[in-house]
Structure 1
Amino acid sequence: MTHYRSTRLALTILAAAAGLGLSACSPDNSATPTSTTPALAPSTTPASPADIAKQKATTAYLGMWSDMAEAATTSDWRSPKLVQNATSDALSKISRGLYADHYNGLVTKGKPENAPTVESVEPADNPTTVNIVDCGDDSRWIKYRADNGQPANDGPGGRRHINAMAKKAVDGSWKITDFAIQDVGTC
């Protein structure tokens, strides 16, 4: 019985495929064009070193926040993901903040919302530093008590002005080396 069903299914699929193939032909057996829109050729203009640096630095910036949000769900200040996109003072600030939350019995739920823009790229011909500005929103990234799940009273969330610096590492990767977050309402 199973062999009969699989054979019948295969024949049904073949018949449908043959029908689709025939419907693409006109009555006189000449092929009917399926599209009259010419294919667009991909752009061959290479990206400038500054454009590449902007893209990689912005990716590192957004990655830093994503890694931090993931680690904050358990306040894991030792998460190996934290070093993927942050180093130096930025990594230290993140680790210290997560350790303080761990010590105080806090975890964070949700994610910050970021919309970074590049303020400057230095030097333009062979970039090693990218300065990023953001108006981050942490109103949906909320701290809770780990022991009872109740919201922690850590102040209001909202939109904050953020400055960040990304540097090109020796291996060619980009990492955030420092950032500063202003008070709620600064952007």
Structure 2
Amino acid sequence: MRTRQPAYLWAALLGLALVFGGTGCGNRPGSAAPRDSDAAPAASPDTRGAEAEKSALAAYAGYLTAVRKAEQSGDPLDPQLRKYLADPLLTRVRLTIRDAKEHGAMRTGKLVSNPSVTAVDLDSDPATVSIQDCIDATGYRLVYKKDKKVVPGSAGSRHLATATATRYPDGRWLINVGASHEDQPC
């Protein structure tokens, strides 16, 4: 016979599972910087910045889609996660999905996102783009897989979220840092 978990456990899982799976800003991989030959030779700094913004926002959108899919299916090893995420965020997201699955829960509903770029640093090693988002998770529910009843204490909110996209040596932009600021409504 399965026992119901205390509400505080589900509240903690919700905090972790609301897209960003963790806290903290600024973790960056120690990988090598992109080579100068990787950049378009005639690109102006403004063009390079605009291209970085576009690529970072595309990676962010892919990240949100991949996480929603993996959370709904309960698959922490969904290959789409690796396509858009890097560690340490990748590991946190996978653990959150696995924990929900082990407790018989899954995500359903709609998550609304409205991201914008707040900073582009192409001179850092590696290059980064900072993203701020207003996440509306009021329609994105953690439910018991067996009966689709909402997990107590898992109500979503509309709040600020931040993420960092990092350009890796192979040229891909991946989301490797993310934080959900549930105490900051938007």
For 1:150 and 1:52, the matched residues in 2 are separated by: 44
Larger-gyration structure (1/2): 1
Identity rate of aligned residues, in percent? Answer: 23
CA spacing shift, 1:80–1:100, aligned 2, 3 Å:
same
Deviation of the 1:149 alpha carbon: 1.6
1:50 — aligned with what? Answer: 49
Q: Which residue of 2 aligns with 1:180?
A: 179
- 2:122 corresponds in structure 1 to 123
Question: What is the CA-CA distance between 1:160 and the residue it aligns to?
Answer: 1.3
Flag as ranges the 4+ runs of structure 1 deviating above 3 A. Answer: 124-127
Considering only aligned residues, what root-mean-square deviation do their CA atoms show, in Å?
2.1
Unaligned runs of at least 5 residues, structure 2: 1-42
Structure 1's unaligned 5+ residue stretches are 1-44
CA distance, structure 2, for counterparts of residue 140 and residue 61 of structure 1: 20
Higher relative contact order (CA 8 A, sep 6+): 2
Deviation sequence 1:45-96 (CA, Å, 0-9, x none): 9870000000000111111110000111121111111101001111112101
Match of 2:162? Answer: 163
Structure 2 residue 145 is the aligned partner of structure 1 residue 146? yes
Q: Return the alpha-carbon distance in structure 2 between the equivalents of residues 91 and 154 of structure 1.
A: 25
Measure, in 1, the Cα distance between the counterparts of 2:156 and 2:60. Answer: 20
TM-score by length of 1: 0.71
Aligned partners of 1:159 and 1:184 also within 8 Å:
no
Partners of 2:125 and 2:100 lie apart in 1 by 40
Q: Take 2:150 and 2:125, find their aligned partners in 1: how far apart are those partners?
A: 47
Whole-Å separation in 2 of the counterparts to 1:185 and 1:54:
24
1:18 aligns with: none
